[in-house]
Structure 1
Amino acid sequence: MQLKVEKTNTKVYFTDIFTSSLLAQCCKKKFAKVIILTDENVSRLYKDKILSYFNIYNIQIHIIQIPAGEGSKTREVKMSIEDQMFQLGCGRDTLMLAFGGGVITDLAGFVAATFCRGVPAIYIPTTLLAMVDASLGGKTGVNTIFGKNTIGTFTEPQAVFMDMHFIFTLTDFDYWGAVAEIIKHALIHDINYFQKIEDNFDKLISKDLMYISDIIKKSCEIKASIVAEDYKEVGKREILNFGHTIAHALEFVSEYQLPHGIAVAYGMIAEAYIANKLDLLAGEAFERIQHIISLVLSQLNFKITFEHHKIIEALKYDKKNRDGSNRIVLLERIGSVYVDQNTYAHVVNITIIDDAIKYLFTFLSRFC
């Protein structure tokens, strides 16, 4: 299957990476050098296959490996990657190939956007979360002491290659965190999709590859359609941030020990609570949301504690803030967000946000 992301140049291929010549064909297009950015975990699993694949097609590659994890999404690591590329003699005729999860695609995309004022990139997401989120839409970036993804660009890759077989190497946190993002797509866009996820949750537990492939494609289609309408996130694209205002604050105060997808699951509970308290989201819908997030979290054995005041402090640095006020995407029902005069993220009083965080802590106590 091929999916074209409208209004960008990105093509999405669903294929078996190591048995298809598609990737090799893309890498042979007038590139003097092919740089593969990956992390130590992915390298341990796939380095031999990567080397063998490109050797078959007589394509010379250079692998740059960084430590795994969110801790590598820094300006310092970006600079180190660029320095290594200069030492290898890379110029504008270089292809940057990201082989890994969201940290790798974010970093590779940011480097590609700025190295020699821009080189092309191709993404091979190896996590379910990167497939349905980070690899599509053009967002790149690094974290700073002021928050998550506070420096970056909008730069789309030329192509994204998705291979379902990577799913079987994921940790439970990587897998179920991605399921949370998939649920988010349904909540903001399509109640029938949400119903399908509810009705077939057992297939997510059993990792039914055909079913997972279908929902990945559906989530990609949803995100692609939203990005096509608002590439630079000045309007409708903000709905993709449902759950993310609280999530990013939680990630930050946990020093990124809390996986992104799990943080989004937490954030959706808090932000759905806010919508319910503002009389936008019906109680029955809020209960359905809590139930499906409970199903996700019950698959994990995870405990983390937060200092309440630090979350409130971290919210001050959210990228969606305007005039010092927090703006949150609010559901009006499952499958639809509240829109007022073409505004998709809304100012919410800090007292209500404070109450939502307290409610979240109570909700999470069921799983500790």
Structure 2
Amino acid sequence: MRVESLVLEDFRNYRRAHLEPSPGLNLVVGRNAQGKTNLLEAVYCLSGLGSPRSPDAALLREGAERALLHGRIRRGDRSIELDLELGAGRTRALINKAPAPRPGALAEIAVSVFFGPDELSLVKGSPEGRRRFLDDLVVKLRPARGGLRREWERVLRQRNALLKSIPRKPGAAAAQTLEVWDDALARAGAGLAAARLEALDQLTPLAGRRFRQVAGDGRLELRYTSAWMDQGDGGAAEERDEARLVELLSKAVVTARTRELERGMSLVGPQRDDIVVRLTSSSQGDDLLDARSHASQGEQRTSALALKLGEFDLVTETLREEPILLLDDVFSELDP
């Protein structure tokens, strides 16, 4: 797939821009702060997964009430027109001038893989960024699974609101309502976690191969870590069966009940999970070590690039079509 045309209005620093990329490789050259990254970001936004860098409100040009993105995407012998309107608290999407039929419909058409300077956070940043990366990958591989994350976020939001209200309104009715949301949390959380684990299993060998290609040697492994799962030696989450994951999360919820009521928030579930990137470092020998604390900045960036190229390979393999690859300043800070 490729971008045939891109039109921006009031997006980032662009009042209006029109770009018609050529088939194959396109190189965007310009001065610092001229808006090169913003063009790539706009293409990624057309996937319906949001910006890889910022919340939607930050995408509007200063003083503008909305931003408009129009793209024409080539998929095989078809050209598909996508329109996206971003405003304060509002997003509207059109496909061939008709309203998008369902949430996530854009993700079925414009599939992009983005790598930029901030992607170093995939390795050294907070768990939230790694969870988002994996959740987005789940949707790219199977767009229908976008509903898993939306359902999880809905259940988590409702349950947290209930946990905050119970100290003010104690009683049997509140306890019974909480049990209903406990069950919903276990099922939604297990469904999302199972999808994450499946995607990570597929990604790991491809990212490892890309790491060797970029670094020249060494190994890279990805490990899903979760406090609520039954973990094997070394802390790797071994469980894959969704029914078993429901049991494990249900048990963890019961155990955490007192602490959750005290804190007024859900303390266990996939919103607390993480992906650990481990690699053999040139300065540490052959042992696999946590890249966050034992790798150089260049090795961390190489690891992040390997994750993104592995994502590109996996999406290509799954869809039997190459996604749109967006690379921004890809060679900076890589070890020689």
Same topology, TM > 0.5? no
Q: TM-score, normalised by structure 1?
A: 0.28
Task: Identify, as 1 or 2, the structure richer in strand.
Answer: 2
Q: Larger Rg: 1 or 2? A: 2
Q: TM-score, normalised by structure 2?
A: 0.30
Task: Identify, as 1 or 2, the structure richer in helix.
Answer: 1
